[in-house]
């Protein structure tokens, strides 16, 4: 039988059918088993080629994507995330209602982060006022790329604030990530932070006693929610005047949850080797030993209450003749029955003596050196809303000033900002 030579192009265009015809011509009467083997081999090669092609294409699309395990509320979840794109991580892991903003839209909203739009400077970066295209005003926190805790704070803020809803907690609207830029977008608070009024000689008069009393109650309600009423027990760890924002009606909202921690289940205490917080607001057990709990926030709340009453900073007040820091000075006045002397003179006589004395009493109970002597936020809310009196506060010995009577340990501090939003890092021994 004359064999016919086939052109290669003819073979490639004919596919499997041509291969079968060729096999019949060339093989003649050979056994069918050889044909089956040949067809099987061809199919195997085709499938293998398709698999290799698919793997290469998938790898190119993923661009280095890898599986990582993340932990949320104690539950481990495996997700696909890009090694270099935090935005993809957020989009797949955090709540669906969180808005992921385009970086160019934030540039337009803040006029390229113009200094005239700067609202303040926090420990992790500046905050800018912005106006979105639809006309809504926002506050944009631009996390510093040089901050070692920037990414962790970024994740912490989104995870906590987006899952905690209370009228005395600031509301996060979304975020934006582009290369090294990490932005958090919050509701805009027109009256900025409490410290911009409280410690300004010309503006503190705006805070009459009714406003100050409302601010104290609002902060207490926010902390009560974090410690007891929320389905999570959250320790803020950086409660201070610059982290209390004021809305258009001067209602307070707790902000900046970058250092906050969740305490699981019935656990009451946590320990950390890196003590991070703000000088003057940290409790003794946290500053000295790295131990924090809800009582750490209670201590910070007590400092806040006494500062709100007096318009005096805990970190800068000092009586040379008596060698007293602010907390010891407040206790001395209380102990002598002269607690009203602590009241800001700008208030003149336009305050309720009973309300002031109640707040001084609560503030001094909160700053007790021993955490066990401090009330819980449940106790505090009850004392503020009723005539119930708590125990007599002991004289606070721990103070942040380097006084002669109470010398303080020397800390190695790193100041991350130039104003009161100072982050202090103390390495655990």
Cα–Cα distances (Å) from 344 to 76, 103, 203, in that order, read 50, 44, 13
Two tokens, residue 416: 């991350």
238 assigned to active site:
yes
Give the bridge partners for 252, in sequence order.
246
**Residue listed under structure tokens 């106790």:** 379
Cα–Cα distances (Å) from 392 to 164, 361, 386, in that order, read 34, 8, 17
Cα–Cα distances (Å) from 52 to 38, 40, 47, 108, in that order, read 21, 18, 9, 45
Q: How far is CA 28 from the centre of its chain?
A: 79
Q: How far is CA 424 from the centre of its chain?
A: 16
Query: Radius of gyration of the chain from Cα atoms?
Result: 32
Contact present, 172 and 156 (Cβ < 8 Å): no
Q: Helix (H) and strand (E) counts for the chain?
A: 12, 18
| Catalytically annotated residue among 7, 208, 229, 238 | 238
Tell me the C-alpha distance between 152 and 124, whole Å.
11
Nearest Cα to 421, choosing from 104, 192, 83? 192
Report, as residue numbers or ranges, the catalytic residues: 238
């Amino acid at each position: 039988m004359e064999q016919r030579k086939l052109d290669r192009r003819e073979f490639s265009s004919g596919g499997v059918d041509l291969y079968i015809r060729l096999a019949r011509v060339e093989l003649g009467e050979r056994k069918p088993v050889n044909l089956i083997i040949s067809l099987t081999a061809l199919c195997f090669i085709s499938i293998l080629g398709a698999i290799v092609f698919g793997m290469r294409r998938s790898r190119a699309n993923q661009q280095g994507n890898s599986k990582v395990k993340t932990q949320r509320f104690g539950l481990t979840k495996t997700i696909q995330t890009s090694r270099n794109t935090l935005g993809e991580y957020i989009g797949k892991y955090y709540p669906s209602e969180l808005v992921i903003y385009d970086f160019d839209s934030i540039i337009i909203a803040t006029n390229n982060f113009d200094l005239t739009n700067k609202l303040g400077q926090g420990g992790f970066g500046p905050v800018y006022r912005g106006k979105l295209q639809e006309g809504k005003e926002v506050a944009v926190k631009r996390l510093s790329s040089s901050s070692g805790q920037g990414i962790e704070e970024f994740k912490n803020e989104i995870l906590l604030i987006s899952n905690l809803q209370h009228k005395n907690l600031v509301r996060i609207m979304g975020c934006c990530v582009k290369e090294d830029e990490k932005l958090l977008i919050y509701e805009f608070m027109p009256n900025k932070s409490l410290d911009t009024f409280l410690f300004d000689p010309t503006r503190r008069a705006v805070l009459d006693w009714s406003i100050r009393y409302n601010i104290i109650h609002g902060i207490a309600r926010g902390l009560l929610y974090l410690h007891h009423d929320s389905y999570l027990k959250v320790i803020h760890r950086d409660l201070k005047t610059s982290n209390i924002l004021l809305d258009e009606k001067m209602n307070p909202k707790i902000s900046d949850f970058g250092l906050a921690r969740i305490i699981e289940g019935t656990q009451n205490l946590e320990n950390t080797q890196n003590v991070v917080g703000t000088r003057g607001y940290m409790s003794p057990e946290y500053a000295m030993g790295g131990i924090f709990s809800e009582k750490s926030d209670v201590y910070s709340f007590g400092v806040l209450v006494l500062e709100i009453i007096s318009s005096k900073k805990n970190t800068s007040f000092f009586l040379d003749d008596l060698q007293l820091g602010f907390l010891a000075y407040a206790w001395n006045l209380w102990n002598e029955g002269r607690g009203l002397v602590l009241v800001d003179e700008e208030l003149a006589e336009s305050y309720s003596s009973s309300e002031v004395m109640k707040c001084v009493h609560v503030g001094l109970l909160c700053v007790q050196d021993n955490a066990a002597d401090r009330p819980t936020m449940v106790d505090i809310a009850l004392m503020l809303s009723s005539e119930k009196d708590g125990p007599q506060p002991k004289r606070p010995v721990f103070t942040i000033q380097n006084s002669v009577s109470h010398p303080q340990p020397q800390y190695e501090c790193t100041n991350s900002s130039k104003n009161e939003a100072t982050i202090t890092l103390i390495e655990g021994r």
